[in-house]
Amino acid sequence: MPEVKVRKNDPIERALRHLRKKMDKENTLDELRSRECYIPPCEARRRAAGIIR
């Protein structure tokens, strides 16, 4: 899990931006979204082939 240390006078927005950047680098959000629902193997193959959007 990514961690961001907030300094004493730093605004929260800056800490959130750093957290988002770290999560993007580690592909945390992509993995979370992919695990939200079950995708049957046949549909996964279609998606990989580019048939389904």
pLDDT at 35: 85
pLDDT at 53: 56
pLDDT at 32: 85
Radius of gyration of the chain (CA): 17
The reply to whether 3 falls in a domain is: no
The Cα 39–Cα 23 span in angstroms is: 23
Average pLDDT over residues 3-24: 90
How many domains in the chain? 1
The reply to whether 4 falls in a domain is: no
- Is the confidence at residue 14, as pLDDT, over 80? yes
- In the numeric block, the tokens 């800490």 are attached to 15
The reply to whether 27 falls in a domain is: yes
The reply to whether 20 falls in a domain is: yes
- Is the confidence at residue 22, as pLDDT, over 70? yes
Paired tokens of 32: 């979370």
Q: Which domain holds residue 19?
A: 12-49
Cβ-based neighbours of 46, under 8 Å, separated by 6 or more: 52
Q: Which residue has the higher pLDDT, 8 or 53?
A: 8
pLDDT at 52: 63
- The model's pTM: 0.55
